[in-house]
Amino acid sequence: MKGRPPHRGSGARRGPGGPKPGGFSKRPGTGPRSSALDAAQRAARNRGEEAGERSPWADVEAQDNAPRPKRASKPAAPKPAAAAPRARTKPPAETAARAKAPPAEAAPSGPTRREQREAASATLASGVQTLTVSPDEAGMRIDRFLGARFPQLPFTRVQSIVRKGELRVDGKRAKPSDRLEPGSSVRVPPLKLDQPTDRPRSPNKVAGDAEFLRSLILYEDADMMILNKPFGLAVQGGSGTVRHVDGLLEALTGPDGQRPRLVHRLDKDTAGCLIIAKTRLAAATLAKSFRSRAARKIYWALVAGVPRTRQGRVSTYLVKDEPTDADARMRVAKHGDDGASHALTYYATVDQAAQKLAWLSLKPVTGRTHQLRAHAAHIGHPIVGDPKYFDVENWELPGGIQNRLHLLARRIVIPHPRTGQPVDVSAPLPPHMAQSWNLLGFDAARYDPIVEAPEA
C-alpha cells in the first residue's frame, strides 16, 4: 500500500532470619528469684513454640529459619519442590548427553514428570515459596511462567492469582502479561490443591494425539513447528475445555523431557498458522520476535458488506468489557481509559460478492485480544459467523454459507529462532471457508494487496 490511505478508524493514535520462636536461654539464673524466672521463661518458650506451629509461614523473609509445621514431617516434604522445576531446565549440552545415555544410566537422572508435579503440589499446599527466574525464562509472561512451573495448576486459576495481587514479583504486584527478568524473585502464595488425580495416559491415546498433531504440521525443524490449527480446537484449557492444543502437546514430549511449548495463541474458532517451540530457548526467542513485532501476520476474513474504502487502517484503543473474564468481549475505548490498549490494523478488500459480502485481508500490527474481530465490527463490517461481534440488523446468512467464524490466520513470517532467516508459512482455507469461497467464486490464489501494507 503506497502512501497513507484516506480511510481511518476512529480513535486516538498511540503516541518487576529472625530468632526462632521460643529462643529463650535454657541456663537458669541465680538469686532468690531464679526458680520463678525459670518457670516464666519455660512458659514463654512454650507459648512461642505454639505460636510457631500455628503460623510457620507468617514471615516470608524468615521462612527458611522458621520451624516447620508438624505436617511437614511427612515423606512429601515441601523443600525438594524448589528443585523440581529446575530439573526441566538443564543446559542443552547436558540435556543432549542425557538423551543419548542408555536406559540403565538414565534411571537415577532425576525425578519423573509426575514426581515433579506432585512435589510442586506439596510445596504450594504447604505455604509461601519464592521462585527465582532462570536466564532461559527471561521474557516469559508471568502467567505462562507459573503455568510452566506448576502444570497441575489450571490456567484460569493462575490468572486469578495474579489479578488478585496474591503473587508478587520483586515485592511488587504484577499483571498476567508482565514479562520477567532473569534473577527476579517471584513470591507464590500458599494454595490448597487437591492431590493430582490424572491417570496415566494410555499408549494408544498418546500415539493418537501425536498422530493428530503431526497431521496438522505445515512446517517443522529441530527448533520449531507451525501447525494448521483447525476451527473449534482451543489453544489452551479453560472452564469446560478438555481437549486443547496445549494438552495435546504432551504427546510430543521427547525422551529428554523437553515438551513443545506454545509461543502465541489463536481464538478457538480461528483457524490457521500456530507456532510451537520445541525447546525453551526457542520459545523465548520466538516470543521476543512477537514482542518486537518482527513477526508479520496476515489474516483472511469474510465480512458483511463491502468497505467504502478498499484499503485502510483502523486505529483504536480496546478494553475488555469484563476485566476478570479471559474471553470477554472487547470494546473501543478512549486513550487513558483504565485497561485500554492501543490496537492498529491494516486491511484491504481482495474481492467481493455484489454489496453483500467482502473478502478482507487483514494485517494486525499489534496483537490485542479479539483485535481483528473488534476492528471489523468497529468499521461496520463484522466477520461472518462471529458470535460476539456480529451485530448487523436484519442480515440473513446467504444460502450455503455455514454460520461459523470466517477468520483464518492465513500467513506468518517470523525469523528462525536459531538462524534468524525468515520462516514463511501459509495455511489453507478451513473446510467451511473453502465452501464459502467456492460458492462466492473467490479465487484463493488471487493476489493479496495487504502484503504491501506498512508494518507499523
Could you write out the three-class secondary structure of 279-290? CHHHHHHHHHHH
Q: Of 80-94, 190-204, 240-254, give the range with the top mean pLDDT.
A: 240-254
> What's the pLDDT score for residue 455?
75
312, β-bridge pairs = 347
> Do the beta carbons of residue 398 and residue 356 sit within 8 Å?
yes
- Calculate the alpha carbon distances from 65 to 18, 21, 58, 59, 61 in Å: 8, 10, 12, 10, 9
> What's the pLDDT score for residue 259?
87
> Which backbone phi and psi does 120 adopt, to 5 degrees?
-65, -40
Q: What H or E segment, with its residue span, contains residue 444?
A: none
Rounded to a whole number of angstroms, the distance between the first and last alpha carbons of the chain is 12
Q: Are 130 and 233 in the same domain?
A: no
Q: Is residue 37 assigned to a domain?
A: no
> What's the pLDDT score for residue 46?
52
- In the chain, what percentage of residues exceed pLDDT 70? 67
> What's the pLDDT score for residue 252?
92
Residue bearing the bigger pLDDT, 320 or 9: 320
**CATH number of the domain within which 176 lies:** 3.10.290.10
Structure confidence at residue 242 as a pLDDT band (50, 70, 90): confident
Q: Is residue 239 assigned to a domain?
A: yes
Q: Of 23-37, 109-123, 260-274, give the range with the top mean pLDDT.
A: 260-274
pLDDT tens digits, one per residue of 103-143? 443 334 445 555 555 555 555 445 777 888 887 777 777 87
> What's the pLDDT score for residue 1?
44
Burial of 353 (0-12, 13-18, 19+ CB in 10 A): middle
- In the chain, what percentage of residues exceed pLDDT 90? 41
> What's the pLDDT score for residue 4?
47
Options 143, 209, 267, 269, the catalytic residue: 267
Tabulate helix, strand, coil % of the chain (nearest 5).
Answer: 30, 20, 50
Single out the residue of 283, 273, 358, 344 nearest to residue 315, CA to CA: 344
**Rounded mean pLDDT of the chain?**
76
Q: Is residue 197 assigned to a domain?
A: no
Give me the amino acid identity at 360: L
Tell whether the model's pLDDT for residue 57 goes beyond 50: no
CA distance 56 to 52: 5
> Do the beta carbons of residue 245 and residue 236 sit within 8 Å?
yes
Structure confidence at residue 238 as a pLDDT band (50, 70, 90): confident
> What's the pLDDT score for residue 108?
41
Task: For residue 259, give its domain range.
Answer: 203-282
CA distance 117 to 5: 54
Q: Are 144 and 262 in the same domain?
A: no
Tell whether the model's pLDDT for residue 11 goes beyond 50: no
| CA atoms within 13 A of residue 232's CA, in its CB half-sphere | 6
> What's the pLDDT score for residue 173?
84
Tell whether the model's pLDDT for residue 99 goes beyond 60: no
Q: Is residue 212 assigned to a domain?
A: yes
> What's the pLDDT score for residue 336?
87
Single residue among 125, 155, 188 that ends a domain in this structure: 188
Burial of 50 (0-12, 13-18, 19+ CB in 10 A): exposed
Report the number of distinct structural domains present in the chain. 3
> Do the beta carbons of residue 344 and residue 14 sit within 8 Å?
yes
Residue bearing the bigger pLDDT, 387 or 202: 387
Q: Is residue 445 assigned to a domain?
A: yes
- Residue 267 annotated as catalytic: yes
Tally of CB atoms within 10 A around 394: 4
Q: Are 326 and 408 in the same domain?
A: yes
Q: Are 349 and 411 in the same domain?
A: yes
**CATH number of the domain within which 426 lies:** 3.30.2350.10
* Cβ within 8 Å of residue 53, ≥6 positions away: 67, 69, 70
> What's the pLDDT score for residue 121?
52
Q: Are 226 and 273 in the same domain?
A: yes
Burial of 317 (0-12, 13-18, 19+ CB in 10 A): buried
Structure confidence at residue 276 as a pLDDT band (50, 70, 90): very high
Q: Is residue 15 assigned to a domain?
A: no
Q: Are 329 and 212 in the same domain?
A: no
Tell whether the model's pLDDT for residue 43 goes beyond 90: no
> 270 is written with which cell numbers?
480461528
* Cβ within 8 Å of residue 14, ≥6 positions away: 315, 317, 335, 342, 344
Q: Are 218 and 184 in the same domain?
A: no
- Full DSSP string of 217-259: EEEE-SSEEEEEEPTT-BSS-BTTB--BHHHHGGGG--TTS--
31, β-bridge pairs = none
pLDDT tens digits, one per residue of 159-207? 777 777 788 888 888 887 788 888 888 888 876 554 445 556 688 888 9
> What's the pLDDT score for residue 218?
97
Tell whether the model's pLDDT for residue 71 goes beyond 80: no
> What's the pLDDT score for residue 326?
64
Single residue among 138, 165, 188 that ends a domain in this structure: 188
Give me the amino acid identity at 352: Q
> What's the pLDDT score for residue 38?
53
Q: Are 445 and 301 in the same domain?
A: yes
Residue bearing the bigger pLDDT, 398 or 16: 398
Tell whether the model's pLDDT for residue 438 goes beyond 70: yes
- Calculate the alpha carbon distances from 216 to 13, 148, 194 in Å: 39, 24, 35
Structure confidence at residue 249 as a pLDDT band (50, 70, 90): very high
> What's the pLDDT score for residue 22?
39
Q: Are 445 and 396 in the same domain?
A: yes
Q: Of 140-149, 366-375, 445-454, give the range with the top mean pLDDT.
A: 366-375
Single residue among 259, 282, 305 that ends a domain in this structure: 282
Single out the residue of 155, 120, 122, 148 nearest to residue 134, CA to CA: 148
The three-state secondary structure class of 354 is coil
> 76 is written with which cell numbers?
512429601
Tell whether the model's pLDDT for residue 309 goes beyond 60: yes
Q: Are 439 and 381 in the same domain?
A: yes
Q: Is residue 35 assigned to a domain?
A: no
* Cβ within 8 Å of residue 58, ≥6 positions away: 66
> Do the beta carbons of residue 289 and residue 415 sit within 8 Å?
yes
Q: Are 319 and 430 in the same domain?
A: yes
> What's the pLDDT score for residue 151?
64
Q: Is residue 247 assigned to a domain?
A: yes
> What's the pLDDT score for residue 89?
39
Residue bearing the bigger pLDDT, 184 or 410: 410
Q: Are 207 and 235 in the same domain?
A: yes
Structure confidence at residue 158 as a pLDDT band (50, 70, 90): confident
